[in-house]
Structure 1
């Protein structure tokens, strides 16, 4: 495996806010918060789909640059600390006057999170054409984006323009990361054909697919995305692994057994693992011309392991390269290669 070329990630940083859970009261819900004398205690972790993906890539060893408008508020400073400590290049991450985006997470008994967002007027969406033009993407093997950065205006349309230009010299990867609590799923349905037209790689979760194409099988959805232009489509299936389709040639990769703490950031970690593995084989930088079915399976199997290790710890905390090398999760559960 060679040293991957740089990947540029464009998108938001979000402060994930969790209730600080205590012991379950008799007859109570497993997710009942533990109040103190002043009210509910909260725990804040730096997150956001694109930021999580950038952290995952950098920790695995891919040179990674994040283009993000980082607020100068307390949460923005938290984001910068986490990103820099993970090795992410922030030379194209301007400090913004607007506030950070907050996502309040509600975890169910299985660790699955649902979110409510506080995002109006936040720094993440206020991109200007001048800010985006300041970054030189010609040295990036891959430009990855998605989530709210592609659908929140005024920045979303400008990000789409940037992807069209980046496609001349970089592989383009998109993760829609559908957020129906904040954006009408119809917005994603309307824009997905245009995204597929510029994307070489499209990654969706089963939940994303259910939101944008209810009742559609993963196989039929992949065929539709291919017809619109995407070469590699990957649908992640939670504990059941992933289905990937390269120009219609399918592979199914099984899940990895792990003791789940929560699933926050698992999809972002999968994307990081996928791009890192492809980059390490020199497959990024064009239209995936040298990628074959075996290469897709290998990359997705690696990505499933990265996602599993992320589920084994609290919050969006993807593994470092040495955790992948030793083959064990932080929960002490063996993760087969």
Structure 2
């Protein structure tokens, strides 16, 4: 059975990575299309889920890059808004472990300028899940418009949120102030251990899950890097191990994990409502699949999630 459509709402970001330059007084950058929501939409489409991406795409050189990349991956851009503002740019520096530190160039860019009219035209009929998060959910003026859209979407689709905290651009207090409200809107909350430390410093993951369940989220997933992930469904919990891989960098790994999780749940018919009938075993199976998707993303440079046939080949190799 083909998975149901998932609609992703949020930003595209041009991820610029430093490369060796021909002269000591020069800096060479390799620019890849990124942004958490865009990465998730691409990963979903490559896995075989019909993925619609609702975004504001600039007409500048980066915006044209985004559009080409998304369409080449099979993402539906029928509700993308042509934007006059420039694209958002992030310059990444990788450490020895492949972890990226970003500096952002994001003032007055296209991604944050949503109006109620732009989102009012989005038809969610046939959409089983709406996924969003990251900067678009906290950057003004568009953040409040997106929250209103989610409140409407919740009556007809499963809602998934990934906070993806970016403290260099938005203070963590802004996320903390809105998180309880997001949990009331969301059925699924996926975040990283770095997000957890920024949102609830020093809080054990299990305790954080209980806090967010109490606020309204049924399924909470905290990814823990090389230690796998903690999945918690209404307070029932287990750990999902990470998939071993050679790490080139970790850019986009969390977004790929989210896509793998949603894709697997969609294939099993679990999306479209309030996760009724979902069991912890179902979530564990989805988490193991998501870990494989994330591992393949870590094995290549930049936010470049795997296609379904790559995932199939990797599973065949692992079983050999």
Name the counterpart of 1:181: 168
Q: Distance in 1 between matches of 2:259 and 2:314?
A: 17
What is the SS of the residue equivalent to 2:52? strand
Q: What is the CA-CA distance between 1:138 and the residue it aligns to?
A: 2.5
Q: Distance in 2 between matches of 1:276 and 1:60?
A: 7
Match runs of 1:276-291 below 5 Å: 276-291=263-278
Q: What is the CA-CA distance between 1:36 and the residue it aligns to?
A: 2.8
1:322 aligns with 2:309: yes
1:44 aligns with 2:31: yes
Question: Once superposed, what is the RMSD of the aligned Cα atoms?
Answer: 1.3
Name the counterpart of 1:17: 16
Cα 1:89–1:164, aligned 2, differ >3 Å: closer, same or farther?
same
Runs of 4 or more above 4 Å deviation: 334-337
The correspondence for 1:62, drawn from 32, 44, 49, is: 49
Q: What is the CA-CA distance between 1:303 and the residue it aligns to?
A: 0.2
Q: Distance in 2 between matches of 1:193 and 1:212?
A: 11
Match runs of 1:219-298 below 5 Å: 219-298=206-285
Q: Which runs of 5+ in 2 are unaligned?
A: none
Q: Which runs of 5+ in 1 are unaligned?
A: 23-33
Q: What is the CA-CA distance between 1:124 and the residue it aligns to?
A: 0.2
Contact 1:256 1:336 in 2 (8 A): no
The correspondence for 1:126, drawn from 113, 118, 122, is: 113
Match runs of 1:71-150 below 5 Å: 71-150=58-137
Q: Distance in 1 between matches of 2:230 and 2:278?
A: 16
Contact 1:251 1:297 in 2 (8 A): yes
Q: Encode CA deviations 1:18-43: one digit per residue, 9 max, x unaligned.
A: 101x4xxxxxxxxxxx4537611110
1:306 aligns with 2:305: no
Contact 1:138 1:166 in 2 (8 A): no
Aligned residues: 320
Q: Encode CA deviations 1:38-71: one digit per residue, 9 max, x unaligned.
A: 6111100000000000000000000000000000
Q: Distance in 1 between matches of 2:170 and 2:26?
A: 31
**TM-score, normalised to structure 1's length?**
0.93
**TM-score, normalised to structure 2's length?**
0.98
